[in-house]
Amino acid sequence: MMERCACVERELDKVLHKFLSYGRHCEQSLEELLCYVSQLRQELSSAALQGAPLSATLSLVMAQCCRKIKDTVQKLASDHKDIHSSVSRVGKAIDRNFDAELCSVVSDSVWESREQQQQQPLLQLAIVEHLYQQGMLGVAEELSQESTLHVDAGFKQPFLELNRVLEALHKQDLQPALDWVIANKQRLLELNSSLEFKLHRLHFIQLLAGGPDKQLEALSYARHFQPFAHLHQREIQVVMGSLVYLPLGIENSPYCHLLDARHWTEICESFTHDACALLGLSVESPLSVSFASGCVALPVLMNIKAVIEQRQCTGVWSHKDELPIEIELGMKCWYHSVFACPILRQQATDSNPPIKLICGHVISRDALNKLISGGKYVCCAPGSFCEPASG
């Protein structure tokens, strides 16, 4: 399933790239056309001033202008046709890589709102939240309006704050991020965050990139490193040592790695991680997590469904809102621990908690009650007996 989704994603990336290219071509072609028309207008005015026959000059200018417009339209039409071909390939990729029977393993009410009084479609809300988290604020607002989805200002505010700072970081402007860190300094300390040091370090590197003219300013700014000396001594030594090579150019020194563009990518990731922790947001949107989990779980569920139907087993999987087996989604999807009894294959609950045996094994209380025989029961390990013990 992951490979199938990756195939569709590649086709979508191609379409997006072509849409962007098409937009740039349209803009460039129209600008060229306007410049050409302006040039012809100047030639026409010059010819009139020189006393040339106006009708002949006008006919020549109009012919050239029409030819240029025709060439521009043909070029844009060709690009437009290419985009249609790419969109068609996306549709074929979806038809080729997705099973039409996926809905058979999903509850019919899965997209219904949990709070019926609000009448908020769950899927639309998840898409809007994903768009906000990706920084597509305008698209999210438009979708909310067209779908009559009411989104509270309090819901949007964390995303607006997050994207405001991220947009500045993408432009290599550190000031909004530094202001945000100072405003949330105490809460970041509680998280043992090193974001403030990383921002000061990157600002210092920015000054180094300015050459010898920025040396005094860099030395003055180095005082911001003092509170972090006991935790980041090595990093501070490296950036301060680079000052020796500043007259010759940092890019030609052993410290050239300090100017690597990856530092901006890393600071964006660090800010996103810490800001989401403070704002009560997940680093990845719930829609992204659900999609990735579904790509892992659906093939397993489809195989189980096929086996159940083939062997005509009834009552094994009676409800679509429960899973017949435990599905491993990988460490990336571990958010809290969930215990599943190795004997009954059921998740533990408050009424059926895990029980630790003397032998060290852990099973559910219901499994323990079923295994008890005469005050003793057979342990999970074959051939051994254990006294009941609660943990």
Q: Judge if 271 and 369 occupy the same domain.
A: no
Question: What are residue 341's phi and psi, to 5 degrees?
Answer: -60, 125
Could you tell me the two tokens for 213? 């003219």
Residue after which a domain boundary falls, among 279, 298, 320: 279
Burial class of 291 by CB neighbour count within 10 A (0 to 12, 13 to 18, 19+):
middle
Burial class of 278 by CB neighbour count within 10 A (0 to 12, 13 to 18, 19+):
middle
| Dihedral over alpha carbons 106, 112, 113, 119 (to 10 degrees) | 170
**371, part of any domain:** yes
Q: What is the CATH number of the domain that holds 379?
A: 3.30.40.10
**301, part of any domain:** no
**120, part of any domain:** no
Distance CA 85, CA 80 (A): 9
Find the domain containing 53 and state its range: 2-97
Residue after which a domain boundary falls, among 279, 299, 327: 279
**14, part of any domain:** yes
Q: Judge if 186 and 253 occupy the same domain.
A: yes
Under DSSP, the state recorded for 341 is -
CA-to-CA dists, residue 186 to 47, 189, 229, 326, angstroms:
73, 5, 18, 41
Residue after which a domain boundary falls, among 97, 121, 140: 97
Q: Judge if 275 and 174 occupy the same domain.
A: yes
pTM of this prediction? 0.58
Distance CA 116, CA 118 (A): 5
**201, part of any domain:** yes
pLDDT computed for residue 32 by the predictor: 75
**127, part of any domain:** no
Q: Judge if 342 and 274 occupy the same domain.
A: no
Distance CA 286, CA 291 (A): 8
Give me the number of domains the chain comprises: 3
Q: Judge if 275 and 342 occupy the same domain.
A: no
> pLDDT averaged over consecutive 10-residue blocks of the chain (391 residues)?
59 64 68 73 68 63 73 73 70 64 58 49 81 83 82 81 89 91 89 90 90 88 90 90 86 86 90 87 82 79 76 62 69 75 82 86 86 62 48 39
**297, part of any domain:** no
Q: What is the CATH number of the domain that holds 6?
A: 1.10.287
**126, part of any domain:** no
Distance CA 219, CA 200 (A): 13
Q: Judge if 76 and 6 occupy the same domain.
A: yes
